[in-house]
Chains A and B, each alone.
Chain A
Amino acid sequence: MQNRRETLKQSLAVAGLLGATGLFPQYALAANKAAFDAKSIADAVKAYGASAPVESKDVTLTAPDIAENGAVVPLAVSSALPGVKSLLMLVEKNPSALSAKFDVNDSVEPSFATRVKMGQTSDVYAVAITADGKAYYAKKEVKVTLGGCGG
């Protein structure tokens, strides 16, 4: 199986194009791979060089109490903290915890929504990493139910 680095090498033409506009900076790749391979919330956050996350009211995670189908679980993360550099969505019991990382800058609100897969009922985390390397989280349990005829 290809890792992310090899994949990028093979698509140099594309990467070149995007690289020219500074879209996918090379230096971040190693950290990304470690983060997306991490099995735990703590390891994923550590891969981005941040300290152990602490719970914070200023991080908001919106997730349903129950997911009718684990294949599509709507999640939204936002933060009211100053100096947030990135927002992470993580599912504790997925094979790899990290689902998505969004970089925050002056042009975009620190608020993102997407949909993730969940293999089973699990705690879901939103983590905000600030420019000074601190990490803050909010979490919520999402129940994944069995649905349909089951066949």
Chain B
Amino acid sequence: MADPMRIRAQASGDKAVVRVLMSHEMETGQRKDASGKVIPAWYITDVTASLNGKVVLTAEWGPSVSKNPFLQFTIKGAKAGDKVSITWKDTKGDTRTDEATVS
């Protein structure tokens, strides 16, 4: 079970800057463990963000995004009190959604 994300969404004018930290190994599939065995790839492939339930961002990632990924973007037309939710999905098919309120 993946750990929760940390989401910060801050309103500024008619926009909200969103900063997200995700807890994920982002294993490339190219590293070997101590015994020389390849560590299988395991990384987030898709990220979506919604504002009050409406999708505002879709992104696709490869294995070269860093471990415990950071993402920053800016939503137009967002105000304090709005709900921002982020969903990721990884190569194992695991997914996680977390929500934050714009402050």
Any A–B CB pair closer than 8 Å: yes
What residues make up the interface of A, taking CB atoms closer than 8 Å to B? Answer: 1-2, 4, 7-8, 10-11, 14-15, 18, 21-24, 28, 32, 35-36, 71-74, 76, 91, 94-96, 98-103, 105-109, 111-118
Question: By DSSP majority rule, is chain B's interface helix, strand, loop, or mixed?
Answer: strand
Known: A18-B87, A23-B48, A23-B87. A109 touches B59 (CB 8 A): no
Interface assignment of B51: CB less than 8 Å from any CB of chain A: yes
Contact call A117/B45, Cβ cutoff below 8 A = no
Known: A18-B89, A117-B28. A108 touches B66 (CB 8 A): no
What residues make up the interface of B, taking CB atoms closer than 8 Å to A? Answer: 15, 26, 28-30, 40-41, 45-46, 48-49, 51, 54-67, 69-77, 87, 89, 91-95
Which of A24, A99, A112 has the most CB atoms of chain B within a 10 A radius of its CB? A24
Contact call B93/A14, Cβ cutoff below 8 A = yes
Contact call A1/B62, Cβ cutoff below 8 A = no
Across-interface contacts of A96 in B (CB, < 8 A): 62-64
Contact call B76/A14, Cβ cutoff below 8 A = no
Q: List 19 A-B contacts (CB under 8 A).
A: A1-B29, A18-B87, A18-B89, A21-B55, A22-B55, A23-B87, A72-B66, A94-B64, A96-B64, A101-B60, A107-B75, A108-B49, A108-B56, A108-B73, A108-B75, A111-B73, A113-B73, A115-B66, A117-B26
Contact call B89/A109, Cβ cutoff below 8 A = no
Contact call B74/A108, Cβ cutoff below 8 A = yes
Contact call B46/A24, Cβ cutoff below 8 A = yes
Contact call A103/B59, Cβ cutoff below 8 A = yes
Across-interface contacts of B73 in A (CB, < 8 A): 102, 108-109, 111-113
Known: A10-B93, A95-B30. A113 touches B64 (CB 8 A): no
Query: What is the minimal beta-carbon distance from A148 to any residue of chain B, in angstroms?
Result: 17
Contact call A111/B70, Cβ cutoff below 8 A = no
Contact call A24/B92, Cβ cutoff below 8 A = no
Contact call B62/A99, Cβ cutoff below 8 A = yes
Contact call A114/B95, Cβ cutoff below 8 A = no
Across-interface contacts of B76 in A (CB, < 8 A): 106-109
Contact call A107/B56, Cβ cutoff below 8 A = yes
Across-interface contacts of B69 in A (CB, < 8 A): 114-115
Across-interface contacts of B49 in A (CB, < 8 A): 108
Contact call A11/B95, Cβ cutoff below 8 A = yes
Known: A18-B89, A18-B95. A103 touches B71 (CB 8 A): no
